[in-house]
A and B are shown apart, each in its own frame.
Chain A
Amino acid sequence: MSYELPKTLVTTVVGSYPYFPEALKALQLRKRGERGREYEELVRRAIARAVEDYLSAGVDVVSDGEQRREDMAVFFAEELRGFRLSGLVRIFDNVYYRRPVIADRVEWDHEIIVEDFRYAARLSKGRPVKVTLTGPYTMYTWSLDRYYGDMRKAMLDLAEALSREIKALVEAGARYIQVDEPALSTRPRKEDVILAGEALGIMVGKLSNVKRIMHVCYGKLERLFPEVLDFPIDQLDLEMKNSNYALLELLKEYSFDKELGLGVIDVHSERVESVDEIMEGIGLGLEILPPEKIYVKPDCGLKRLSRETALAKLRNMVEAARRAREELA
């Protein structure tokens, strides 16, 4: 079944969707190390429900809702060779989590999200399914390194390992590959941004006929510029709504001409943005880029919202994009 994407203002998601009860149960099983048939069946049911919601909202490019992943770094750390989990580390107050520990050389030895992609693609009624992978910079900075003692070496191995997964995804038919690097906006050093670009080159630099996307959010996104302009990506997916579209000015200054994933939905607020409000955000994006270069999407993953809110926000987002297209026509 084929689906014709709109020529302009394509709607999409960043990746995660609120967990369905099936996913929560699957995550509990996973924690206990029980990854048998029941676990896989629960994950599939959760993915199916996420895709169903995307379709009902009318999103053009969907995802698997990341229903299998509790934490974006821990998930890949559990799947790649070379990692183990640390003891508990504080994140705030008395809230602790386990950080991935790089305890040996990082390597890819099995497909990680390929089957989830295939399954989501079977259900998406021809709509493209975007796959999302946590990038080497975020994986490294959110982990504790006990093996390399050298960020560059570790990141290049991480990039190599993730490139194997990307290759498998592309072979399975994935055409929208998104590398998530939320940690990149939290660090001040230019050399880190350059290194992240080099790692991206290893992962997606040689891909053709594939939409290569990098997602970054929160923190100081301006730190990525101007280096990010030379990254081997087709689309930069950014949080915009939360920071009141302040970054658009910077994009204009740099004559940004890649595609832009324009965040028009605040994922930290249960308030559902009105269609008019979202159209206003799209309008701001259109002041600096032509509509065919703008992908309309939430600021970040939706997993922290209630399902009802997430769905309502997506519906309004899709409607806003539709009306904006009408106005342009």
Chain B
Amino acid sequence: MRLYAGICGSFPRPPELRRAINEFREGKIDRVEFEERYKASFKRVVRLQEDNGLNLLTSGLLLWDDLLRPFAENLGGIRLGRLLRFFDNNFYYRCPVIVDQIRWTRPITLDEVRGLSEAASRAVKAVVPGPYTFLKLSEDRFYGSKDKLADDVVQALRQEIESLSDLADFIQLDEPSLVDPELGEDDRRWGVELVNALLEAVGVSRDKLLIATYFNLDSRSYSILLEVRAGLHLDLSSTKNADHILMEEGYSGDLLSLGVIDSRSIFPEDPGDIAGRVEKLLEKVSAKALAISTSSWLDYIPFEDAVEKLKTLGEVLRRLEAGSR
């Protein structure tokens, strides 16, 4: 089994990037200077991951204002709507409002992923929103038909994923809506079917695709999630019995990512305890590739606390590797 350690998605913007973004938006610096300052922050975040021993790197999604924003801004047929709460977080996303046919016209995250693959000395992971979450968090004012809208979202995301496939070792589709505790069973099944339709359509090997769920894990949603025909990322920090569910139901597949580091808490975590939890889980689950990860994005805690998470993650990986030798 190949063992990886990497964050689930975003890393908090370093202070210098926050300032650069403000200055650029206020017209105080030009694009050239902004790009330079962004690249410096980007390199800092990649280096932080490497220096802490992580071996599955993300770009930190440093320019993403939220999970959907790069796509809401760059796919045809969408304009930005009002700010809405992102699940149960004190964090808000801008609702994509669909006003015309959704069209993918050019790669959206390709430059970012290329930059990552050039800067990184280890495996890299790209992130895109999953089709179900995209639909659930958007407002349709054009299609009036869930199926037609879903078809076009699937096609748009398919093209984006295919554009990234040569550069990324893994591509993660974020689907927090799939485990929303308030989702009915029929909707959840429909969501999984939609994800599978995209997985069928996309010309990328399944063993490099990962469906990321977070903010919840319960036994009802997990049993339906197992029907997803790709790897899974599970949030093992948001619910108390998540480890138990995984132990009970088990897992066997190509790729499993365990969100054992709590990305929404700054309560100190003991790497020894976490490594022990993972070892216990490995008695019941198996995958060709296993990643240990943060439970979700790291946007919910300050930059300096997120750095602590990287240290913990790296230390857990070292302990697991030492244990398996």
Instruction: Mark A residues whose CB is within 8 Å of B.
Output: 86-94, 96, 99, 101, 141-142, 144-149, 183, 186-189, 219
Contacts and interface: CB of A to CB of B under 8 A. Distances in A.
A86 B267 CA distance: 13
A208 B203 CA distance: 69
A188 B88 contact: yes
B181 interface: yes
Contact of A93 (B65, B85, B88): B65
B65 A144 contact: no
Interface string B80-115: 000101001011111000000000000000000000
Given A94-B65, A188-B88, A145 B304 contact: no
Given A86-B302, A142-B90, 10 more contacts: A86-B305, A87-B303, A88-B302, A88-B303, A92-B66, A92-B93, A93-B65, A94-B25, A186-B85, A186-B88
Interface stretch (B14-22, B125-133, B225-233, B277-285): B14-22
Nearest to B266: A144
State the 10 A-B residue pairs at the shortest beta-carbon distance, nearest first.
A87-B302, A92-B92, A149-B267, A144-B266, A94-B21, A93-B65, A188-B181, A86-B302, A187-B88, A90-B299
Nearest to A223: B182
B12 interface: yes
A146 B301 contact: no
Interface string B179-193: 001100000000000
A146 B88 contact: no
A101 B90 contact: no
A89 B301 contact: yes
B266 A145 contact: yes
Nearest to B239: A189
Given A144-B265, A144-B266, A145-B267, A90 B13 contact: yes
Of A86, A89, A91, which is in contact with the most chain B CB atoms at under 10 Å from its CB?
A: A89
A326 B131 CA distance: 55
Contacts of A149: 267
B300 interface: yes
Contacts of A144: 265-266, 301, 305
Nearest to B65: A93
A6 to B, nearest CB: 37
Contacts of B22: 94
Interface residues on B, range: 20 to 34
A94 B13 contact: yes
A101 B18 contact: no
Contact of B91 (A92, A101, A188, A189): A92
Contacts of A91: 90-92
B268 interface: yes
Given A94-B65, A149-B267, A88 B182 contact: no
Contacts of A183: 90
A145 B265 contact: yes
Given A142-B90, A188-B88, A92 B65 contact: yes
B28 to A, nearest CB: 14
A110 B85 CA distance: 35
Nearest to B180: A188
B12 A90 contact: yes
B83 to A, nearest CB: 6
Nearest to B15: A88
A187 B21 CA distance: 32
Nearest to B93: A92
Contacts of A96: 18
Contacts of A188: 88, 181-182
A219 B85 contact: yes
Contacts of A94: 13, 18, 21-22, 25, 65
Contact of A87 (B21, B182, B267, B304): B304
Nearest to A90: B299
Contacts of B94: 92-93
A146 B266 contact: yes
Contacts of B15: 88
A101 to B, nearest CB: 7
Interface in B48-98: 65-66, 83, 85, 88, 90-94
B88 to A, nearest CB: 5
Contacts of A86: 266, 301-302, 305
Contacts of B93: 92
A96 B14 CA distance: 12
B263 to A, nearest CB: 12
